[in-house]
Each structure stands twice: as C-alpha cells, then as structure tokens.
Amino acid sequence: MYPLKFEPVLKQTLWGGDKIIPFKHLNEDLPNVGESWEVSAVEGSESVVANGACKGMTLPEMVRKYKDELVGEANYARFGDKFPLLIKFIDAKQDLSIQVHPGDELARKRHNSFGKNEMWYVVSAEPGAKLISGFSQEITPKEYKERVADGTFAEVLQACAVKPGDVFYVPAGRVHGIGAGVFVAEIQQTSDITYRIFDYNRRDKDGKLRELHVSQAVDAINYEDVEDDFRTLYEPVPNEPVELVACPYFTTSVYDMTEEITCDYSELDSFVVFICVEGACRLLDDAKNEVSLRAGETVLFPATTQEVTILPETHVKLLETYV
C-alpha cells in the first residue's frame, strides 16, 4: 500500500464555469465544468488510480482487494466494500439549484443508499458571492409547499456572503444552495442523491425544465433549521492542524503551512485524504513513499500509514479528512 492519486472525474453542468481546469492544471478543453470528483466510489463515476502499481484500478476494486488495509478495521466493519466519502471541487458560474439531501434512514429506505451529510470549504469567491444554508425563519411543511408553489420559497432562506476560507457544515435535512461565483471543496458521504426544490426555471440543452423533487423533499427537510449564520467559525493557526468539522461521517482539519510538520496516524484506524487548495508540497510517509501535491490535487493515504511528513515548497494550504 502506498499514497494513491486518482484521475479526476470531470462533470459538465448547466451552471458550471471555467475555473476547475486551470486550478487543477489539466490539459483539457471542456466548457462548463461544474465539478471535479476527486475521490469517488459512486457507481458510474468511480475514481481510477493514477499512480504506482495499482494504476488503472478503480477505488471500489481497491477496497474489495485491500479491505481494512485501505480503509481501516472499523470503517470496513461499518461500510464493507463501500468507500464512505466522496470528495469534489465545485465551480458555480451560475447559482446551483436550491436543494436538500436525505439522511441515512430515508436514503436507505428510498434509495438503498447512504444519506448525504456534507461540508464546504470556500476556495475562492467573487465579490458579493453567496451561499444558501438553512432557513431565516421556521416554516411548516404546509408553508413549504405553498411557498414553492407561489414562488416565495427563497424569502425564508438564509443567504450568507462568503470569502475564501469560509467553512459550512451542511447536515442532511438542511436546505442549501451554492451561489454564482463560489468555488468550493466539498467533502460528503458517498451518495449522489439530491432533492431539487427550485432551479430558477432553467432549461437544459434540450430546452426542458430540469426535474424537481418538491414532494420527495417534504420528508427530508428539517423545518426548524434556523440560525443567523451557519458558518463554522475557527481561528487559523500557522503550521498546526485546525479542526473544522468533526461529525459521525468525517473529521476535517485545515493545515496552513510554511514549515515542515509530521502527522502521527499510529492511533488512527482510517485512511486519510489530503486536498491541496493552495500552494504546493511534498508528502513523505513512514514507508518512505513520497508524493508531490499542488493546488487542485488530492491524495489518499491508506489506513496502514503510520505517519506523514508534510514538506511545504512555499506556502501551502491543505484539507485533511478521514472517517
């Protein structure tokens, strides 16, 4: 086992922009790339190993072959052959739909799937760009249906102006949307289930309105999900990990570094993923495997890894996540 890099799975979307390809230093000429799936075991969009002896294998094949060596004993007991996280970059040139995700119980019952709890780390944001996260006031299921029908649903949503480095945890049940001009790294459960509530009356390339899931969303929404600002507040500390989100589905920290640091994973029973959002570095594990990482790249260290030394080339900013 060694640190794994993957081929990105690029997704062209109605609302996608032009930032992902240059951010990831790709030699591609695709318009409207809205998402790059960095680490994915979603059926039909599986990540493929890009380096080393396992090059060409998909992430699900890797889990089936290496089991707890790759994901950790507790994770393998909990999830079996299903890799539990999906990691993406998202570039919203236009507003994404207003949507909600089901939790584990509803997703299992309806779709035989994990639920979708997720987080966003804002990599960049144009002036005035916003995210929608939660309600500005409590509403009832009846009021939800009425407001969607008469076009006033947006009036009860909480819109937040954002800047680079902002963090939002988005639990299943929270109504949300990424606004135009926002570029995020997203960490979530392995699920592609989204209930679209409102899509700005947009039409697809065939001139058709996109499908909405207004009735399916009724049972998924947390109607009491009200707060002035759902942003996760944290104090950046140079050259030390700062925890951003710790939930049953993942733990994520940010490293803002100019100096070498060694991370001890000897007590951690999980794979570890590093997502580079700024700068460049080298990472060296206890087996003397070395991998370079620069902005837009992601690497997965297997659960057998005992420690990782991060060697910044200049200034580097990384997200670290594990289960």
For 255-308, write each residue's pLDDT tens digit: 999 999 999 999 999 999 999 999 999 999 999 999 999 999 999 999 999 999
Percentage of the residues of the chain whose pLDDT score is greater than 90? 93
In a domain, 236, yes or no: no
Answer yes or no: pTM beyond 0.85. Answer: yes
Mean pLDDT of 58-64: 98
The model's confidence at residue 176, banded by pLDDT at 50, 70 and 90, is very high
Angle, vertex CA 214, rays to CA 211 and CA 217, nearest 5: 115
Mean pLDDT of 132-144: 95
Residue 227 has pLDDT above 90, yes or no: no
C-beta of residue 270 within 8 angstroms of C-beta of residue 246: no
CA distance linking residue 284 with residue 139, whole number of Å: 51
In a domain, 64, yes or no: yes
| β-bridge partners, 89 | 36, 185
**Residue 244 has what pLDDT?**
98
In a domain, 1, yes or no: no
Mean pLDDT of 137-154: 94
**Residue 205 has what pLDDT?**
81
Return the C-alpha torsion angle 201, 177, 121, 306, nearest 10: -100
The DSSP letter of residue 171 is -
150 and 258: one domain?
no
Residue 203 has pLDDT above 90, yes or no: no
170 and 283: one domain?
no
Residue 18 has pLDDT above 90, yes or no: yes
Domain at 26, CATH number? 2.60.120.10
The model's confidence at residue 206, banded by pLDDT at 50, 70 and 90, is confident
176 and 256: one domain?
no
The model's confidence at residue 2, banded by pLDDT at 50, 70 and 90, is very high
Residues 6+ apart with CB under 8 A from 168: 119, 120, 131, 133, 160, 176, 230, 231, 232
**Residue 285 has what pLDDT?**
98
127 and 264: one domain?
no
In a domain, 317, yes or no: yes
For residue 189, what are the domain limits? 6-218
Amino acid (one-letter) located at 269? D
Residues 6+ apart with CB under 8 A from 117: 101, 103, 169, 170, 171, 172, 188, 189, 247, 249
181 and 257: one domain?
no
In the chain, which ranges are E strands?
A: 6-7, 9-17, 33-39, 48-49, 85-92, 98-100, 118-125, 130-135, 157-161, 167-170, 176-178, 182-189, 195-198, 241-246, 251-257, 261-264, 272-285, 290-294, 298-301, 307-322
Mean pLDDT of 112-132: 96
Tell me the catalytic residues.
196
33 and 164: one domain?
yes
In a domain, 227, yes or no: no
40 and 161: one domain?
yes
Mean pLDDT of 81-104: 96
